[in-house]
């Protein structure tokens, strides 16, 4: 007779994920954390590949919200959470068992001692099974109390803005970020993101000097290939560094174009204009 696995207690946290057309990746993301929480929310912005069915089949509560930008979408998701402690993941991020256990241990004696926790996030490229030991990684706040901070309302800046005086800790584990399906998919994603970046610069009233257009590509390539240590990842690291440089160039090119068109519109509308 098969031995029935003992059900571990759920933690008093809500997990939320924003997604669109992530049916091939979101299943692994959900399976890695569904034993931690009884409140797992996926905010979908109009998937056409069955993402909603995959998430619901794994026990997630799926809610549709038309895409308003990264920050606003995550703030919308925060409002749906039942618990005051929140864990945010993207649909291409997986919590490995050691990190899941670390999160569980954090709540073992009740309320964690800090208000928010930074978690290391490292990319895994096609052909890799785990992050390179020296891979570049970010450590944003991803586990936090809702009364200690909220996601920024920015269209493109994906960060939690903490209240003054919030106590911040850091977890030892690393989220596995399966960010690159293919080089073509990556450049399409970065192209869309650069559209939003150009709009965000306008909204914030930022004007980047035109001379930077001529230097952004090589500078961004060096930043990714050397500064972010993509050179350690072989040929694929070189190619992803090139994609990053292209995306940074596109951000400035679109920003320049928007300024040019805006200036032309103002001239055409001025008294005595054509």
Is pLDDT larger for residue 223 or for residue 261?
223
- Range of lowest pLDDT (10-24, 62-76, 144-158, 254-268): 254-268
State the architecture of 13-177 in CATH terms. Alpha-Beta Complex (3.90)
Residue 1 confidence class, pLDDT cut points 50, 70, 90: very low
Query: What pLDDT is recorded for position 273?
Result: 47
Query: What pLDDT is recorded for position 2?
Result: 46
Average of per-residue pLDDT across 95-113:
96
Q: What is the mean pLDDT of the chain?
A: 91
pLDDT, one tens digit per residue, over 202-253 is 888 888 899 999 999 999 999 999 999 999 989 999 999 999 999 999 999 9
Domain ranges in the chain are: 13-177, 183-265
Exposure string of 42-79, with b = 16+ CB inside 10 Å and e = fewer, is bbbbebeeebbebbeebebebeeeeeebbbbbbebbbe
Query: What pLDDT is recorded for position 187?
Result: 87
- Range of lowest pLDDT (61-65, 113-117, 265-269): 265-269
DSSP code string of 152-213: ---SS---EEEPTT--EEEEEEEEEE---S-HHHHHHHHHHHHHHHHHHHHHTT----GGGG
Q: What is the pTM of this model?
A: 0.85
Query: What pLDDT is recorded for position 3?
Result: 45
Residue with tokens 């706040």: 141
DSSP code string of 199-249: HHHHHTT----GGGGGTHHHHHHHIIIIIT-GGGGHHHHHHHHHHHHHHHH
Tell whether the model's pLDDT for residue 73 goes beyond 60. Answer: yes
Residue with tokens 């979101």: 26
Tell whether the model's pLDDT for residue 274 goes beyond 80. Answer: no
- What is the spatial distance between Cα 184 and Cα 240, in angstroms, rounded to a whole number? 10
Q: Which of 156, 141, 147 is nearest to 197 (CA)?
A: 156
Provide, rounded to the nearest whole percent, the portion of the chain with pLDDT above 90: 70
Average of per-residue pLDDT across 41-61:
97
Query: What pLDDT is recorded for position 268?
Result: 66
**Assign residue 58 a region: left if phi > 0, alpha if psi is -120 to 50, beta otherwise?**
alpha
Residue 270 confidence class, pLDDT cut points 50, 70, 90: low
Residue 159 confidence class, pLDDT cut points 50, 70, 90: very high
pLDDT, one tens digit per residue, over 8-17 is 789 999 999 9
Query: What pLDDT is recorded for position 185?
Result: 86
């Amino acid at each position: 007779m098969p031995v029935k696995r003992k059900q571990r207690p759920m933690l008093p946290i809500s997990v939320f994920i924003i997604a669109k057309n992530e049916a091939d990746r979101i299943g692994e993301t959900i399976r890695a954390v569904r034993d931690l929480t009884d409140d797992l929310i996926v905010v979908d912005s109009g998937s056409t590949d069955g993402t909603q069915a995959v998430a619901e089949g794994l026990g997630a509560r799926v809610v549709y919200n038309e895409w308003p930008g990264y920050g606003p979408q995550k703030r919308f998701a925060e409002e749906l959470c039942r618990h005051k402690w929140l864990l945010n993941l993207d649909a291409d991020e997986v919590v490995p068992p050691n990190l899941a256990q670390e999160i569980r241990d954090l709540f073992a004696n009740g309320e964690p001692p800090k208000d928010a926790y930074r978690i290391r996030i490292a990319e895994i490229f096609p052909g890799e099974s785990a992050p390179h030991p020296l891979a570049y990684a970010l450590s944003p706040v991803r586990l936090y109390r809702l009364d200690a901070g909220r996601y920024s309302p920015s269209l493109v800046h994906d960060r939690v803005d903490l209240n003054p005086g919030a106590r911040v800790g850091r977890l030892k584990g690393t989220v596995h970020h399966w960010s690159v399906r293919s080089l073509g998919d990556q450049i399409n994603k970065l192209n869309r993101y650069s559209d939003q970046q150009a709009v965000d610069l306008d909204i914030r009233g930022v004007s980047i000097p035109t001379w930077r257009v001529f230097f952004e590509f090589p500078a961004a390539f060096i930043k990714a290939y050397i500064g972010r240590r993509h050179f350690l990842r072989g040929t694929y690291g070189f190619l992803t560094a090139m994609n990053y440089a292209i995306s940074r160039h596109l951000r400035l090119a679109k920003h320049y174009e928007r300024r040019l068109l805006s200036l032309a519109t103002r001239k055409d509308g001025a008294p005595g204009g054509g």
